[in-house]
A and B are shown apart, each in its own frame.
Chain A
């Protein structure tokens, strides 16, 4: 990865962690240059852009848009992209947390406390529908 793009990614994630939201392009520099860098990072699966707007859609494991996966960690609520990413929020911030979502079948709320990387409710099941070879075919669906 190009060192300049690596630095742009570092500053993009840094903004997310510090403020709880992804940066706008103009907050990181010349907007056209930033968007061009983000597009290269998108192509390398280092972040995910909304194809219609070139705004950030995912800074995995964080979701830039409201989702069914809410995580309370480091004193604020975050959105994650899926169950895996919800645990990933606690993992990448290196903190305990609380995950709130719902059973995909019945819609009943599920809440999981994460303490020292272990979930409070070991009875829940995680299911992945898409094989690993195809995760990035459509990462939003995955």
Chain B
């Protein structure tokens, strides 16, 4: 899970490998703030698989690549 300066840099790094998924860093920050918000809270309880999938959905991360494994 890396950062790149541009699409050109990402393509060079992939070197012909199949790409995974790419998003602007603004979307990453939004995702991270939903995903990690409660992580150090004393009241934290484990996220459910469906709850985590709903976070991905809220950011618009759909499709087979973003499907979490079954619980």
CA distance A134 to B56 in the complex (A): 15
Given B22, B24, B40, B42, which contacts A122 in the complex, CB threshold below 8 Å? B24
* Closest Cβ–Cβ distance, residue A71 to chain B (whole Å): 11
Q: How many residues of B contact A (CB 8 A)?
A: 45
B window 1-57: CB within 8 A of A = 1-7, 9-10, 12-13, 17, 19-40, 42, 44-46, 56
Question: Could you tell me if A82 and B1 are in contact, using CB atoms closer than 8 angstroms?
Answer: yes
A positions within 8 Å CB-CB of B: 1, 6, 9-10, 13-14, 16-17, 44, 46, 60-61, 82-94, 101, 103-106, 108, 110, 112, 114, 117-119, 121-134, 136, 142
What residues of A have a CB within 8 angstroms of the CB of B67 in the complex?
131-133
What residues of A have a CB within 8 angstroms of the CB of B42 in the complex?
10, 14
B positions within 8 Å CB-CB of A: 1-7, 9-10, 12-13, 17, 19-40, 42, 44-46, 56, 64-69
The closest CB in chain A to the CB of B35 belongs to A88
Question: Could you tell me if B40 and A131 are in contact, using CB atoms closer than 8 angstroms?
Answer: no
What residues of A have a CB within 8 angstroms of the CB of B4 in the complex?
103-105, 124-127
Asked, given contacts A103-B5, A133-B69, whether A124 binds B25 with beta carbons under 8 Å apart, the answer is yes
Question: Could you tell me if B23 and A106 are in contact, using CB atoms closer than 8 angstroms?
Answer: no
CA distance A46 to B39 in the complex (A): 10
What residues of B have a CB within 8 angstroms of the CB of A126 in the complex?
1-4, 22-25, 27-28
